[in-house]
Amino acid sequence: MRGLIIVDVQNDFLPGGALAVDEGDQIIPIINQLQSRFDFIIATQDWHPENHGSFAANHPNKNPGEFVILEGVQQILWPVHCVQGTFGSEFHQDLNQEKWQAVFKKGMNPLVDSYSGFFDNNKKGDTGLSKFLKDHGVEEIFVCGLAEDYCVKFTVLDGLNEGFKVHLILDATKAVNLHPDDFAKAMIEMENAGAIITHSDSF
């Protein structure tokens, strides 16, 4: 069976949000249309405690875009975003949630960031997504959402590692683009790892 994975379409990643992805809202109607073609849909949700180590505000004299070491691993710093229970952490109100089988929350451990919907960045914490998909007979996943160069990319790469056939839906994702070519670089990385790049009207 095939499944649709909607990554982090939350207010803080949309225009006006704390970590806004340019034109991120443009993918919402595309994702809603896509949902009508899937019987198995799950979403991921960035869900940080206030003291999360990826927030620049939690490190003295540090700004977003700078780096720290968290648990021995280099971590880029972000503005405070997707704090549990805040408006910014909610899914956008126009995103259809009716058919979702489950929501997988991530980023709760303050000591490690968690881009992928499967595992944290240290590959220690497991959200249970891989087992959930396998238990439901899902072998092929179609990934969309935000942001293409972070959470979408790492979800695609972990999905491939977990043995799924993975499609990235090109027109249903947008990048943060801290550097202007981040979108293209992430695309190449996913393709080289074995992802199939597709378009919402071509499958």
Pick 1 or 109: Cβ nearer ligand VGL: 109
Cα 183 to Cα 185: distance, rounded to the nearest angstrom = 6
Sign of CA dihedral 182, 186, 189, 192: negative
Least separation in angstroms between residue 150's CB and ligand VGL is: 3
Dihedral angle over CA of 90, 66, 125, 134, nearest 10: 60
Contact 32, 70 (CB under 8 A): no
Least separation in angstroms between residue 8's CB and ligand VGL is: 4
Residue labelled with tokens 């992802």: 195
Pick 25 or 46: Cβ nearer Zn ion: 46
Using alpha carbons, list the distances in angstroms from residue 100 to 38, 97, 154, 168, 174. 10, 6, 21, 19, 22
Binding mask 49-88 for ligand VGL (x = CB under 6 A): -----------------------------x----------
Contacts to Zn ion from residues 38-57, by CB under 5 A: 46
Answer for which of 150, 157, 158, 159 binds ligand VGL (CB under 6 A) is 150
Say which of 82, 113, 151, 174 is annotated catalytic.
Answer: 151
Say which of 25, 46, 82, 106 is annotated catalytic.
Answer: 106
Active site residues: 8, 106, 151
